[in-house]
Amino acid sequence: MGTEGANVRVIGGRYRLEAEIGRGGMGVIWRSTDTLLARQVAVKELGLDESLSEGEARLQREQMLREARAVAQLRHPNIIVVHDVVLDDGRPYMVMELVEGPSLAERLAQDGPVDALHAARIGLALLGALRVAHAGGVQHRDLKPANVLLESDTGRIVLTDFGIARVAGATTLTESGGFVGSPEYTAPERMQGGRTGPAADLWSLGALLCAALSGESPFRRDSLGGILHAVLYEEALPPAEAAPLLPVVRGLLEREPERRLDVDEAERLLRAYVATGATPQAAQARLPFLPPPLDTVVVRRRRIPTRVVLVAAAVVAAVTGAGISAAVLLARQDGDGQPPTSTAGPTRTETTTQAPTPTVTVTRAPTRTGQPPVTAPPGYRGVRDAKGFALAVPKGFSRSVDGPWVYYLSADRTFRIGVRVSAPQNGGPAATQQRAAAAGPRTNPGYRDGKITDTSHDAHDAALWEFTWDDPTSGGQARRVMDLCWEEGGRRYDIRVSAPVGRADEARGYFDAAVDTFAPPAGQ
């Protein structure tokens, strides 16, 4: 049993807890002395839910100890060294090396963002740590600046706090329907309550690199609901400071896990930058987007066979007492695109709150039996989108969603083909485009050379809006945009293609192919 003294406890008969140096939802970190070996260590006191029954508490202790012991087997210079795991008075403790130095979060708060070279080196260190962890069957699941330590004397970068890690073959603390973690750095597939793989840690690394370069996660918002909505539905827009590492950041923040950069490719790109100082070139996309089969339920931009029973786990805020259900978020995906109301703001304290499992209504993708296949010119492929429309897109382009827009993007995101289906607006297409153009300077940095041309599309009145703007996500690159708007069957359609100004002629070919092959949803 731990002994109490003048603010001092000794646990396990040898570890003297002397001063609290950190605290989180999963426990307290103590600066401690190993009295047997006469060395300084860090001891993590893992918190237990006092409301649990004796049997539940015992199971929770066994699970935590099993995971802690598994992490203790990991050996890598960028992973915290675990010396011991002990039970004292029925409570588990993890004994680790003491790293003298600030966390990355503290470093950013005190000194501001780091440069691209420093960020690349941080990324390489963490990729090395994740490679070893994943090979050992351990997913960290809480990769964020607060869990990255910077050793003052050596400059060593250390990944710590595997408190909510998942070990292959073991039931984890958070698989009972609750969500634990830091929403700004959590992969969308984890937010959606499904089982996740190592790719979720790589998404977190992408958000962490953005924070290192700019000072904050790209998903930071004014409310918890805003954060969750951004992670689940909004296109990840890396900060301008990420331009030197843009292929890495974009690749890590791919929403679909199977399209995300893996450890090998991310390492290759970062090493290339460290060696040359030049923005590395990403490889071609490994997997082309395939439209969902007709017997597939389309949910949360992931394709889930109809035979699978969908259970939406509660997405629980990393805020004491504040919860928001996955069902509320999912219901908004095809609505007005606004985040659900939440009065709670994000904090750095992680707690687990069990919320009732909500009911989710699953809607099948409309059956399009009898529709003719899309005729695609050479170098293109026909796509029948989950939104119901069809068109031809260049081979190798992949699908992404940003609010009401569906985009098909080239592998390096140089070319963007967007489609929006919405309700008609007053005044028809010309008036709609005039209003959009009037707001251009406010919505598009560096807006210029705007022009609207009245035209037609398939015998329907249409308006073509063209303009140039400076894209902050690509270092202020000047891009030319072509946007055709028309109304048909009680719906408004926009087809938009954009590209760097110097490649606008090539983009015009993509635009013409998209317009010429576009077919609205069946019945429209």
| Residues that are catalytic | 142
CA distance 58 to 197: 27
What contacts 61, CB < 8 A, 6 or more positions away? 48, 87, 90, 91, 92
CA distance 293 to 280: 36
CA distance 452 to 432: 11
178: phi > 0 → left, psi -120 to 50 → alpha, else beta; which?
beta
CA distance 389 to 290: 14
Rg of the chain, C-alpha, whole Å: 26
What Cα–Cα distance (Å) separates residue 483 from each residue in 363, 445, 455? 30, 17, 12
CA nearest to 204, candidates 223, 222, 181: 181
CA distance 186 to 143: 8
Tokens linked to 455 = 């035209």
> What strands, in cross-sheet order, belong to the sheet with 477-488?
398-402, 405-409, 416-422, 491-500, 477-488, 460-471, 448-457
H/E element, 70: helix 54-72
CA nearest to 303, candidates 286, 291, 312: 291
CA distance 91 to 100: 26
As a residue count, the chain comes to 524
Q: What φ, ψ does residue 138 adopt, rounded to 5°?
A: -115, 125
Q: What 3 state SS string does 239-271 have?
A: CHHHHHHHHHHHHHCCCCHHHCCCHHHHHHHHH
Tell me, rounded to whole angstroms, the distance of Cα 497 from its chain centroid.
Answer: 25
